[in-house]
Structure 1
Amino acid sequence: MEYLNVLKELPGNFMKCGIAGWCLEVMFTSVESVLARDWRLMGRTSLLMFPIYGCGAFLSPALKLIDFWIGDQKVSLPEQLIRHGMIDMVLIFTAEYISGAWLRARGMCPWDYSASRASVNGLIRLDFAPLWFATGLLFEQITKKRSK
């Protein structure tokens, strides 16, 4: 029964994560424009990023499955946040790498991190780990079922 609820909530959560991801990316790239002394705060994203960010809707169900598999011993909230953030970060890096490779093979990848020393094949940046840690926890919160 729990899985039926997850499936029913998935389209709405996909939309929430897609929109939140777009907003985060526009804000992040606006900060980059300030660093380049462009005070217009010109943020940018790509339409292709919506479904990629939308896949953040799968993080909470994946974490529930992992917690069940681990046994989810009664851990404190800080320990759970660290564990979930680390798992989210790894899953996001994996999704970013796979989707970036797939898009690059078709000449459509909207990002290229090749200029960064922290880049892995120009597809992910390891120095973005704290951002993906926090983004995963944010996606987990915005997709959390609220009691009525």
Structure 2
Amino acid sequence: MKRFAIYGFLGSNMELIFTGLSSLLKGEFNLKGSVSLWMFFVYGLAVVYLEPLYHRIKDFPLLFRGICYCLMIYFIELNLGLFFINVLNIKPWYYEHGLYFLNVIRLDYAPIWAVVGILFEFVYKTLIKLNIGQGKNA
């Protein structure tokens, strides 16, 4: 549960920073970022999806691991995006610009998601070294 919360906070803040910096591309110098509170739970799911994936691919080359993380993130983004839209009738994210698929996946974000996956490895290994979310610290 602790790692779920840590991933949720890190991911949400990462998105807030990304959207804030992206405002510069629109000529908006206020660096206003935004993130849905739903994203806390989405990013928290790294415990369920990315941790087990890490253990299966950790011995493979960096590029391969980045591609695997990107594909897993796309899988999560597609399924949760369609769930939010079709079941809950909400749109925590909805892409209308760039190269997108079903308005829930930005294909041109592939390199970003690959890097996020590799950064996840560092965070995960650090949390394990600190014994966070294991045994009595769960």
Moved over 3 A (4+): none
Match of 2:53 among 47, 53, 62: 62
% identical aligned pairs: 31
- Cα RMSD (Å) of the superposition? 1.9
Report the Cα distance in structure 1 between the residues aligned to 2:9 and 2:130, rounded to whole angstroms: 23
* Alignment length (residue pairs): 127
Report the Cα distance in structure 2 between the residues aligned to 1:101 and 1:107, rounded to whole angstroms: 9
Match of 1:31 among 21, 30, 33: 21
Q: Classify the secondary structure of the residue corresponding to 1:63.
A: helix
Report the Cα distance in structure 2 between the residues aligned to 1:47 and 1:14, rounded to whole angstroms: 14
**Equivalent in the alignment of 1:136:** 117
**Equivalent in the alignment of 2:71:** 90
TM-score (ref. length: structure 2): 0.83
Report the Cα distance in structure 2 between the residues aligned to 1:52 and 1:25, rounded to whole angstroms: 12
**Equivalent in the alignment of 2:135:** none
Q: Deviations over 1:12-48 (max 9, x none)?
A: 2211211111111111111221122221110110100
Q: Classify the secondary structure of the residue corresponding to 2:8.
A: helix
TM-score (ref. length: structure 1): 0.78
Computing the radius of gyration from Cα coordinates, the structure with the larger value is: 1
Report the Cα distance in structure 1 between the residues aligned to 2:30 and 2:130, rounded to whole angstroms: 41
In structure 2, stretches of 5+ residues that fail to align are: 132-138
Kindly indicate whether residue 136 of structure 2 is the aligned counterpart of residue 146 of structure 1.
no
Once the 2 structures are TM-superposed, how far is the Cα of residue 147 of structure 1 from its aligned partner? Answer: 6.6
- Residues 1-148 of structure 1: pairs in structure 2 closer than 5 A: 11-58=1-48, 59-64=50-55, 66-67=56-57, 72=59, 79=61, 81-105=62-86, 106-116=88-98, 118-144=99-125, 145-146=128-129
